[in-house]
């Protein structure tokens, strides 16, 4: 895959089968997942003129073990993140490999690693979502959004989701969605507050960005958390900050959205400068 004049192009190339290095496994790929981020040149994931193997995650059978690899055998079925997942063979870091459950198809297994690892980070490791809490997913019909719904329900949370498609909302209700709001605009605060008895949600997974970010802040409960799924710019008139996957916000006091945004800008800038992907937003009063 190559970036050319602001667009991504795909080209089939013949290459030698790679050799796994220490700590790596060679996987004969059976299925791969296509992710939107691979084609977003503007996000810097594919720089113009730079060619790279296409595919970021997949499933297959181990064809060869690299030096020092233990716990796996040739022929084991695995899934995980790797470069070049669209290839017949790809090298995977053994730390990224996961045993593939027997009840999954190759295609199902290939679609799990990226989205569910991100969602586990946001909901469990950083979001600390608990049974009985409210989860709001802005853009719930995306891959990460649907994964957040599945994990949120498994954790016992009540889930609210927004999407621009009524058909997608209807489909997700069969997966446990408690409240679906059909909108692409930042106008869902009142519906969220009504559903939560005026308290707001405990955790937001924000996959949209733009003006929806401020609306999500308005929907937070006291000591609520907000996690963002993709790199995008957050700005409230201070220094624009590019936020990486999983940045979390935890307001401590009742603040207006503009106040929270100002604090978030500063806190995120400091967090990113120190190499962290989490920050705490607290009132200065």
Instruction: Provide the β-strand partners of residue 29.
Output: 60
- Token reading at 98: 């996961």
pLDDT tens, 96-134?
999 999 999 999 999 999 889 889 988 998 889 999 999
- Least confident residue range of 39-43, 66-70, 91-95, 186-190: 39-43
- Least confident residue range of 101-105, 186-190, 241-245: 241-245
On the question of a common fold for 2-110 and 115-273, the answer reads yes
Instruction: Provide the β-strand partners of residue 9.
Output: 2
pLDDT(277) > 70: no
**pLDDT, position 217:** 85
Side-chain half-sphere CA neighbours of 164 within 13 A? 6
CATH class of 2-110: alpha beta
pLDDT tens, 133-178?
999 999 999 888 999 999 999 999 999 999 999 999 999 999 999 9
Name the phi and psi angles at 89, rounded to 5. Answer: -130, 140
199's CB contacts (< 8 A; 6+ apart) are: 134, 193, 221, 222
Q: Where are the domains of the chain?
A: 2-110, 115-273
3-state secondary structure the chain: CEEECCEEECCCCCCCCCCCCCCEEEEEEEEECCCHHHHCHHHCCCCECCECCCCCEEEEEEEEECCCCCCCCCCCEEEEECCCCCCCEEEEECCCEEECCCCCCHHHHHCCHHHHHHHHHHHHHHCCCCCCCEEEEECCCCHHHHHHHHHHHHCCCEEEEEECCHHHHHHHHCCCCCEEEECCCCCCHHHHHHHCCCCCEEEEEECCCCHHHHHHHHCEEEEEEEEECCCEEECCCCCCEEECCCCEECCCCCCCHHHHHHHHHHHHHHHHHCCCCCCCCCCCC
pLDDT bucket at 264, cuts 50 / 70 / 90: low
This prediction has a pTM of 0.76
Name the CATH superfamily housing domain 115-273.
Answer: Medium-chain alcohol dehydrogenases, catalytic domain (3.90.180.10)
User: Is the sign of the CA dihedral 166, 156, 134, 137 positive or negative?
Assistant: negative
What's the mean pLDDT when you consider all of the chain? 81
What average pLDDT does range 5-31 have in this prediction?
89
């Amino acid at each position: 895959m190559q970036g050319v004049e602001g667009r991504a192009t795909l080209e089939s190339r013949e290459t030698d089968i790679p050799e796994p290095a220490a700590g790596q496994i060679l996987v004969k790929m059976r299925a791969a997942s296509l992710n939107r981020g691979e084609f977003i040149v503007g996000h810097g994931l594919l720089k113009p003129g730079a060619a790279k193997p296409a595919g970021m995650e997949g499933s297959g059978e181990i064809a060869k073990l690299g030096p020092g690899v233990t716990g796996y055998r040739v022929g084991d079925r695995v899934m995980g993140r790797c470069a070049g997942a669209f290839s017949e063979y790809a090298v995977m870091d053994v730390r990224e490999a996961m045993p593939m459950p027997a009840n999954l198809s190759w295609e199902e297994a290939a679609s799990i690693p990226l989205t569910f690892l991100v969602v586990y980070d946001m909901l469990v490791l950083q979001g600390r979502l608990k049974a009985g809490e409210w989860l709001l997913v802005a853009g719930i019909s995306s891959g990460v959004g649907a994964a957040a719904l599945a994990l949120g329900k498994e954790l016992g949370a009540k889930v609210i989701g927004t999407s621009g498609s009524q058909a997608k909302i209807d489909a997700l209700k069969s997966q446990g969605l408690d409240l679906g709001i059909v909108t692409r605009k930042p106008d869902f605060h009142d519906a969220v507050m009504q559903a939560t008895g005026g308290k707001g949600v405990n955790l937001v997974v924000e996959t949209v960005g733009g003006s929806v970010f401020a609306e999500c802040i308005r929907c937070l409960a006291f000591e609520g958390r907000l996690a963002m799924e993709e790199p995008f710019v957050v700005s409230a008139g201070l220094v624009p900050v590019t936020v990486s996957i999983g940045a979390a916000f935890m307001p401590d006091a009742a603040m207006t959205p503009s106040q929270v945004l100002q604090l978030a800008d500063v806190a995120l800038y400091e967090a990113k400068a120190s190499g962290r992907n989490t920050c705490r937003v607290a009132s200065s009063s």
